[in-house]
Chain A
Amino acid sequence: MGNTYGKRPEADRSPSGWRILWREIVRDKVALASFIFLGLVFLAVYGVSLVLDQKQIVTVDLFALNQPPSADFWLGTDYGGRDVFGQLIIGTRNSLSIGIIVTLLTGLIGVLVGLVSGYFGGTVDNVFMRFVDFFMILPTLMVVIAFVTAVPKYGVVSFSLIMTAFLWMGIARLIRSKALQERELDYVQASRTVGSSHFKIMFAQVLPNLSSIIIVTMTLNLAANIGLESGLSFLGFGFPESTPSLGTLVSYARNPQTLEFRWWIWLPASVLILVLMLCINNVGQALKRAADARQRRG
């Protein structure tokens, strides 16, 4: 671990945060493979779903119920005669989109709240944190379920917003604690003395110093958010069946007949969820090490 430090040839200038992150991924073969695989999945899913016709895929076909995989249906069909492969692609796209949107939105809100609260401290901090506490004690899952049942029609965007509303607190707390440490440092004091505005110090000076931790948290959150969406859909509180998602595909396995006799409906989606989670986590772990100098490999 530590021995690489002295060997670095370009030691005259300490490497930028981004380079450290990237180097950590490249050094870790598993993380690199995961990263490449994730890239491919993203490309494939968003690329293929452009040419797929979602309406066609969710069309019920009485004469092709529960077909096993064949040349016509690469992964067979479900009990409504709908193509599982198409549902898998669109489902993955929907699940990933939600995961990404939720992660970005929670990141944005969390960073803003955390930074302001940590930077100013005192009363501002108190007010913000009580607000966060309030959201924290809500039984998130129950409230999300209640919301989803109450909203009559929802798609990717509204579903993301509902989830975002209850998931931004963790990241806000984390950033706040880091910002509290950061504002005591000399560079902040110095910048303040030369008359920089609070706004500039927060976003141009403190924020970049927190970037690595933000990236790490958000990567790990991405996996969690995809998981949460799939979980809700599995329980029947996610998307309706006409909007495929990984969770809906897996939930077909709640039917004992499907579970026992028709693996092609639920197995690919389950495996895909597993692999996606593992890959994102692998990358996330590598990034986490990069953010902590004592754990770095590269």
Chain B
Amino acid sequence: MKRKRLFLPLILALMVMLAACTSGGGNGNGGNDPAPSEGENSPAPTESAKPPEDDGLYSIEDFSNVKKNEGEPIEGGSLTFGLVSDTPFEGTLNFNFYSGDPDSQVLGWFDEGLLTWDKNYVYTNDGAATYEVSEDGRTFTFTIRDNVNWHDGKPVTAEDWLFAHEVIGDPKYDGPRYDSNFTNIVGMTEYHEGKADTISGIEVLNEKQLKITYVQSTPSLLTGGVWSYPLAKHIFGNMPVDKISSSPEVREKPIGFGPFKVESIVPGESVVYSKNTDYWRGEPALDEVVLKVINPTTVIQQLESGSVDLVDSFPVDQYPDNADMSNVEFLGNIDRAYTYIGFKLGKWDAEAGKVAPDPNAKMGDVNLRKAMWHAVDNDQVGKRFYHGLRWNATTLIPPSHPEYHDASNPGLAYDPELAKKILDEAGYKLNGDYRTKPDGSELVIHFISMTGGDIAEPLARYYVQSWQAIGLNVQLEMVEFNTFYDRVGANGEDDPKVDVYQGAWGVGIDVDPAGLYGRDAIYNFPRYASEEQDKLLAAGISAEAFDVKKRQDIYKQWQQLMVEEIPVFPTLYRAVLAPVNKRVLNYAIGDGTGIYLHQLAVSQDKPFVAEK
């Protein structure tokens, strides 16, 4: 419920790989900008744990994403929400302008999108607006419910929705939202370039009805491809577009139509919300919600003492030592993210805006890549380093997308003997400790990995050891986050000295992976491209892919293609955990749970305190 934020389909946030991350989609609509990943970076100065007494393994299967309700709700009450971050939140409090995950956490309490989605991330008709799609799948007609009103009592109208599109499409717009989802609207490009005064593809039918026509019909439209956050025209209508994001109505006294209203803000530190009695779903049960920023190192203490009831994210590595905390229930969910090892197979051609695969790249031999995948034991890595809260990954679509993740595809299993055999047969001969290339020349593989989190270094070193064990001379370099992405090519200038790297992706709610692996995606760091993949990726967003079965089949083939070609191989999937004080009722994490913030309640006045 509180995560009812809307993400555009391609948004893929880079993540600090080993830090225990917040939910991967946190960057919202940040589109193609790696910068927002700082939000992901937040908690987790720490990684490790495990009391050695027991086997210390946990499984995401044992967690529910819905809070058990114990006790009866009381009238009203107040609740404290901890925003776990070691930096203050920025305070751009409008969905049309914010960029970091912390801001979206603040926003989620007082504003929401007009559309909601189910657990497969497909838009439903139980949000503040309903929609109908035309026969050809290009025209959407939206109807906003009658009782949806801004906090100041004015109704949310189709004009407001159009206004949001106009502001984002304006050449002077200074936020991060304008991307391919907007250019897909008929007439948007002309408007953006100043050639048209209006957006021809958007039409206000009446006060509550809006019609949007898209250039191309794709299933991605139904999974986050529609911009559903209106902007209050009666407030922002007279402001210059480039002044809106710094206006007091965004920074100090923000407005929305969500279940709570902003009462007061201490910039960067805390927000007090009071209930919005006029909320369209019904009057919220709680009187007040207090949001405060708490440091990742003190999360445990604050939860134990009951000074926070809920947190937005929890450093997973601290779980094993605190699993028996008596006053909270831990909710768990599969994160929309995975860690992976990538192989550089080419360069970025900035002029053409395309990847330029190089068939002679050092890692160009698929046998070499296959052997490197077979050589690492990710099952044990997940169990030992992460106590089962991260686990062996098999394909490039994580199980957070249950409809599309191909559970029947086993990936490549840990088998160092097979790895050696593959290398022997491919002509990589042992010469002393290490193997040479098939042509007899020396083979030195440069591997870079990110610092950050305690596990980062030993984990990277473990991979190097595993590769050395099959006779590959792999040299490790640990670099810090920003340097890392510069060197793998986030700005298109790939460092030729990098052959292999370990990274992580947070994936958007739409399953389409073209933003990460497509031919024209700058985030295609391996610089891999093949015609077969182009075909599959195009098919995945074609009109025929509206048929879920068909789309599943397409992405199944794509996952298999990636297992065969191995431009990258996934290493670990991850769990997100959310501790919740036992007095909290009607709460859930994840998508499509059907539990909404206005139902949130407490069973007693004061939070439970942990018994030591």
A binding-site residues for B, Cβ under 8 Å: 58-60, 62-63, 65-68, 79-82, 152, 236, 240-242, 252, 254-258, 260-261
Contact = CB atoms under 8 A, between A and B. Distances in A.
A261 B47 CA distance: 13
A81 B318 contact: no
A254 B385 CA distance: 18
At the interface, is chain A mostly helix, strand, loop or mixed? loop
Interface stretch (B238-246, B454-462, B560-568): B454-462
B514 interface: no
A256 B297 contact: yes
A75 to B, nearest CB: 15
A257 B455 CA distance: 13
Contacts of A241: 457-458, 461, 478
Given A79-B458, A80-B457, A241-B457, A62 B48 contact: no
B384 A255 contact: no
B384 A252 contact: no
A93 B265 CA distance: 53
Contacts of B381: 62
A257 B317 contact: yes
Contacts of A256: 46, 297, 300, 318
B477 interface: yes
B437 to A, nearest CB: 24
15 contacts: A60-B459, A60-B462, A63-B380, A65-B384, A65-B385, A66-B48, A67-B52, A79-B458, A236-B451, A240-B478, A241-B461, A254-B46, A255-B454, A256-B300, A258-B48
Nearest to A260: B321
Contacts of B380: 62-63
A255 B44 CA distance: 9
Q: Which of A65, A82, A254 gathers most chain B CB within 10 Å?
A: A65
Nearest to B318: A257
Contacts of A257: 46, 48-49, 317-318, 321
B274 interface: no
Interface of B: 45-52, 297, 300, 317-318, 321, 377, 380-381, 384-385, 451, 454-455, 457-459, 461-462, 465, 477-478
Contacts of B48: 65-66, 79, 255, 257-258
Contacts of B46: 254-258
Given A59-B461, A242-B461, 17 more contacts: A58-B461, A60-B462, A62-B381, A63-B380, A65-B48, A65-B50, A65-B384, A66-B49, A68-B52, A80-B457, A80-B462, A236-B451, A242-B457, A254-B45, A256-B46, A257-B318, A261-B321
A67 B48 CA distance: 12
Contact of A66 (B50, B297, B461, B462): B50
A60 B462 CA distance: 6
Q: Which of A152, A240, A256 gathers most chain B CB within 10 Å?
A: A256
Nearest to A261: B321
Nearest to B384: A62
A269 to B, nearest CB: 16
Given A65-B50, A66-B48, A254-B45, A60 B297 contact: no
A236 B458 CA distance: 15
A78 to B, nearest CB: 8
A72 to B, nearest CB: 13
A252 B50 contact: no
Contacts of B300: 256
Nearest to A149: B480
B281 to A, nearest CB: 40
Contact of B461 (A65, A80, A254): A80
Nearest to B296: A256
Contacts of B477: 152
Contacts of A59: 461, 465
Nearest to A258: B48
A212 to B, nearest CB: 45
Contacts of B384: 62-63, 65
Nearest to B455: A79
B42 to A, nearest CB: 16
B318 A62 contact: no
B383 to A, nearest CB: 8
B462 A252 contact: no
Nearest to B320: A257
A152 B48 CA distance: 27
Nearest to A62: B384
B484 to A, nearest CB: 14
A66 B52 contact: yes
Q: Which of A62, A242, A261 gathers most chain B CB within 10 Å?
A: A62
A214 to B, nearest CB: 40
